[in-house]
Amino acid sequence: MTEPDPRVIFYVGGCRSGKSSAALERAQQIDAPRKIFVATCQPHDAEMRRRIERHQAERDASWETIETPIDIVGTIEAHSRPDTVLLVDCLTLWLTNILLDEVKDAGLENHFQMLTHSLRHARGPVILVANEVGLGLVPDNALGRRFRDWAGSLNQRVAACAGEVVLTVAGIPMTIKPVAIRGSKAYP
Report the catalytic residues.
Answer: 55
**Spatial contact of 38 and 72, defined as CB atoms under 8 Å apart:** yes
Give, as one character, the DSSP assignment of residue 180. P
Q: What is the DSSP-derived secondary structure letter of residue 72?
A: H
Rounded CA separation 162/149 (Å): 20
Tell me how far apart the alpha carbons of residues 54 and 149 are, in angstroms, rounded to a whole number.
29
| Single-letter amino acid, residue 80 | S
**By three-state DSSP, how is residue 126 classified?**
strand
**CB environment 64-82: b (16+ within 10 A), e (fewer):** eebebbebbbebbeebbbe
CA distances from 66 to 21, 22, 102, 171 (A): 18, 20, 22, 26
Q: Helix, strand or coil for residue 69?
A: coil
End-to-end CA distance of the chain: 22
